[in-house]
Chains A and B, each alone.
Chain A
Amino acid sequence: MTDDSVNALIRDMAAIRLGTLAFNLGAIAWIALNTQFGSGGASFQPGCYLTPNIVNVVAALVLLYSGYLACLAIKKGSLIPAFLTLTFIFAMLATLMREI
C-alpha cells in the first residue's frame, strides 16, 4: 500500500522544491499576519498581530508550519529559501517579545 499522506509527499519532495514551498507559504503567511481589517477594508499594517484578528492567528500558525518545512528543507540541503522563511518567524517572535 502506498503512503500518499501530506507528510509522505513532503518527505519525498526534493530539497529545493521543499525550500521554495516553505518560502512561498511563509511569505503569504507573513502578509496575512500583518494585515489589518478596518472600516476602510484590509490594509498592510506591520505589527498589527499584537492585537490579532482571526486571520492573523491562522497566519501565525501557517507561518510556524512553514518554519517546520524550512527546517526539513535545510536538513535536506536547501538553504537560501529556507533561511528567508526562518527570518519571518524570527521577526514575528522578536516583535512579540519586544512588546509583551
Chain B
Amino acid sequence: MYEVLFVVGLWAILSPLVAMPLYERLLFFPDKSDPVKVLGLFRDDPRLLCDSCEQISFYNGPQVKLEGLFFKKKAATRTVLVSHGNGGNLGHRAVLASALLKSGCSVLLYDYEGYGNSQGTPTVRSAVDDACGAFDYLTTVQNVNPAHIVVYGESLGAGVTSELSRKRPVSAMILQSTFPALTWAAHDRLWFTWLYPSSWFQELDCLAAVRSSTTPLLVIHGTEDPIFPVRYAEIVYKQSQKQKGRQSTLAIIPGMNHNLEDSNNPGYLAALREFLKEL
C-alpha cells in the first residue's frame, strides 16, 4: 500500500499541472548580461553590416518591458523578426544577425522576458506574448508593413515563431533547428513525460502551425545538430507539404551545428537568399 501511494504521489508531483515551473526552469537558460556588450565580443558584429542599429524597448501582452536591437538597412525590402533559442540572450545571436543582414534584410532581435535587459521571468506562454509584442512594435512604432515581415525562429524560438504565425499575419516563416512540438521534445528528453496527457503541457506546436496556414516556409537544419535530430525538420517539412500550393523548402545544411556558427556558411546563405527571392 505504501509503495502504491509513493508511485502515485511521485506521478502527481512530476505532473505538468504541478511541476510546470520546474519544467520551465529546465527549458529556459537566460543570460542577464548586457546584450550589447556580448555582441561586441563576436568577430561577426552585425552593427558593421547595417545602416543603423537602434536599441529598442516595447511591452508584451502582460505589459512587461522588453528590450531588443533593430538593425536597419535602408535598401532592405524585408524585415526579419528573430525569436532566439533558449540559451544566452540576443547578444549571442551576432552571427545569425550578420547572416540575415548579408541576405539583404533588416533584422529585429529581441529578448524574451528574463533574458538580457528584459524584465520578468520566462515562461512558455510569456515567450509567445513577447513575440507578439515584438511584431506589434514593428508594425505600429516602426511602421513596417506586415506583408514585409518574415518571422524567424531558432531552436525554441521556432516554436515561439510558429505560435506567432497563428496570431499575426506574417508574410513568411523560417524555422531553424526546429522541433515538431514542445511535447515531442519533452517526450524524447524526459521519458516519464509520456505518462501525462499532452494537453497538460503548455505547448509550442510547430506541426499545428504549419498545418493551419499557407505562409511560405523555409525549414533549415544542420546535419551536425546534437540537440535536435534532422528527422524533426523533415517531419515539420512533410507536414507543411500537405497544404497544396504552399511555398515550402527544406534546407539540410551539411556540417551545420544547432546554432549558426559562421555567417558566411555558403549552404545557409544560399538557402536563405533563394527563399527570400521567391517571396
Bound-complex Cα distance A36 to B194 (A): 22
Chain A contact patch, size range = 20 to 34
Please, what's the 1-or-0 string for A74-94, where 1 marks a CB less than 8 Å from any CB in chain B? 000011100100011011001
A45 at the interface (CB under 8 A from B): yes
Q: Please tell me if B7 contacts chain A, counting CB pairs below 8 Å.
A: yes
In whole angstroms, what is the CA distance A43 to B257 when docked?
Answer: 15
Residues of chain B contacted by A46 (CB below 8 angstroms): 188-189, 191
> Which residues in A have their C-beta under 8 angstroms from that of B3?
78-80
Interfacial chain A residues near B231, Cβ < 8 Å: 50-51, 99
Which of chain B's residues have a CB closer than 8 A to the CB of A83? 7
Of chain A, the residue at the smallest CB distance from B223 is A38
The answer on a CB contact under 8 Å between A87 and B194 is: yes
Residues of B close to A98: CB separation below 8 A: 184, 187
Contact at A80–B194, with CB atoms within 8 Å?
no
The answer to whether A87 touches B6, judged by C-beta atoms less than 8 angstroms apart, is: no
A52 within 8 A of B: no
Q: Encode contact with A along B181-205: 1 for CB under 8 Å, 0 otherwise.
A: 0001001110110110000000000
A53 touches B (CB below 8 Å): no
Q: Does B226 contact A (CB under 8 A)?
A: yes
Given contacts A79-B4, A83-B7, contact A48 B191 (CB under 8 A): no
* Chain B residues near A91 (CB-CB < 8 A): 187, 191-192, 194
Kindly identify which residue among A47, A48, A51, A90 contacts B195, using a CB–CB cutoff of 8 Å.
A90
Binding site for A on B (CB under 8 A): 3-4, 6-7, 184, 187-189, 191-192, 194-195, 226, 229, 231, 235
Query: A residues touching B (Cβ–Cβ < 8 Å)?
Result: 30, 43, 45-48, 50-51, 78-80, 83, 87-88, 90-91, 94-95, 98-99
Instruction: List 11 additional contacts besides A45-B226, A98-B184; criterion CB under 8 Å.
Output: A46-B189, A48-B229, A50-B231, A51-B231, A79-B3, A79-B4, A79-B6, A87-B191, A95-B187, A95-B188, A99-B235
